[in-house]
Structure 1
Amino acid sequence: MTQSDAASLARTPLYDLCLELNARMTEFSGWEMPVQYSGISREHQAVRTAAGMFDISHMGKFRLTGKNVLEQIQRLVPSDLSHLQPGQAQYTVLLNPQAGIVDDLIFYYQGEDGGGSQRWVVIVNAATTQKDQDWMKSNLDLSQMEFQDCSGANTLIAVQGPDAVRYLQSFVAEDLSAVKPFGHLEGTVLGQPGFLARTGYTGEDGFEVMTAPETGRELWRSLLQVGVIPCGLGARDTLRLEAAMALYGQDIDDSTTPLEAGLGWLVHLDTKGEFIGRPVLEKQKQDGVQRRLVGLQMQGRNIARHGYPVYVDGKPVGEVTSGTQSPTLGVAIALAYVPTPLSKLDQILEVEIRGKLYPAVVVKRPFYRRVK
């Protein structure tokens, strides 16, 4: 990355603190972000065995307020959000009319104020922040609600790992052990207001903490002092892939439906009414999908990467969407779309790597699951 390239990129409020730790920086969705600090493998293992922290301030952050917000956002997603109680959240997807995935995101329901106005927080991918905002605004009645983009006004730090809650508790007034997975609260971080959610993108326990920039900077320094390992995008990618969590733009996009992507658990056809893309999903549910996203384990040391073709009997049948060498499992793993008849467990496939075909087997997802 040249100096001129870097000069045109956005930077988070923690940028200089990352540089102080000699982070190796890279371009990511228009942002200059740390790809690694002490090494991807060390950072990965820190999250799996103790605790690591990530600067994810580049992610999009919206606040929705109004008396009928639920009624409106229900039309944007296939998941039934009506079951959410204050302090609960739902991972889901925005859909276009073809049931393609506009983005994956999390809705956090904060409850109602004294006047009956609902309060929601929405966290979206950094690469799609403007796209998501435009899509949501074009499909919401903004005369009935307030849509606030606070993406640039807050830091967001993910603290992940089996010891993450213990480390973070030292700097939070509220009892974090009382927050259930996919729960959240408005709390006090280092004496200042903060939004804390027991969510993450690593397959481990932990919290994502949204605060004002100065509080975020102080929290980053405080966590560093007590031994939490700073982690970059490299470890974030290997961790999420072991947990088989989709990466938008690779594993899911506007041309993939949640049923094809193995996200059928987000589709609640029986409990909700009309939503964008419903007719397509109803037909796929009835007829079955033509392709599926599967987990692959390479039968050897070769690593399947994004875009590599998948073969059966010498014929191309699909394509790898994500792949890496799993630091935890010690084997090469990947995700790929293949025709539904070839998606059964133990199906033998081949991946083309540098002009040669290497065997891979369809395995159960996720590749890694933490012991609770």
Structure 2
Amino acid sequence: MSFFLRLIAGGLLLFLAFTAVAQQDNSAFYLSAGPDSARQKTLSVQWDLMGYFKNNEYFAPTLDGYTLFGYQAPIALHYQVNDHWSALGGIYLQKDFGIEGFSTIDPLFSIRYKHGPWFAAFGTLDGSLDHRLIEPLYDFERRLLNPLENGMQFRYHDDRLFADVWVDWQQAIVPGDDEQEIITGGLSFSYKIVDMERASLSVPVQLILAHQGGQTNTANTDPVFTLANGAAGLDFRVREKGFISSWAVQSYAVMYGGNIPDGLFAYSSGAGLYVNAYAESSVVDVMASYWKGSEYISYLGGDRYVSDSRSVVNPLAVEPDRELFILRFMKDVKLVDGIRLSARAEPFWNLNGGGFDINYGLYILYDGGFRLAENNL
């Protein structure tokens, strides 16, 4: 059976590669709210609302099935100082249905600079899926569970180069604290070495670093560690005219390692291969992915790619060699200006005999705002 599944997976990958943005298009879920030079000396209210329903029908020993159902409501005042500088402040609210009150209430604050392709932010970042990381390094579901990042960010983006560097300070400590400080950061880099009218070839390099520790948390005896997840590969894209508007293939070598004490995790180092083929059409976007991982663990990546357990039911379960074939069906629909509907379904098969699982979701996103005052502030 596993050989038959591998044969089907290989055939579908080849079909997509030769009939049809290999990494799925998550642009509908981006949080970016950079300065707008056309609105100098302007005070405005902005929001980026999302209602979400995502159901994970998982039955593998290392994964738990659950449902996420609720909404996110970040609302902020945005002041455009001049062509390059802006500031925003507001509140982030998240409500998970079935839980009393709000799940999350957090402040939003950011000072932002933009000049041509350069962008910088201090405070609340343009983070989450905006970093354009692959799923073995950064899970799509974090956009639903932990979308906020706070720290510093520098980004360069033009027609050939995308480079994003950031630090996200997730948890601070004070002297005598019984918790560890938690810091994550990363690099997302992609450069087009070939850029033609209808086709391009890029070299992407991605890195996530996660550190837990601290020197003043004397009440905490947990081990200090620094974990690294990295990826590098090739990304080939073609633009078409007709029913299929674009297609792409993408391949990554993925790694896991770092300064990790013995016994802290199930494995102290590992690696993986991640291959995608993507076709975008006027009806539905389809993506086929193949994952082959060996003793791979990720700090922010998707649960289905890792070799240790993410299950609260079976916390000790492990799968040293994990091999998956994933299909993704995606459709984004513009309802009116500023309001989009996104539907996704992702069946996947464990080629090592672990069976079939699926997740599916429906999302409605509304980003908008209005001016309160301008030119006299």
Which TM-score bucket, shorter chain as reference? under 0.3
The structure in which a higher percent of residues are helix is 1
* TM-score of the superposed pair, with normalisation by structure 1: 0.23
The structure in which a higher percent of residues are strand is 2
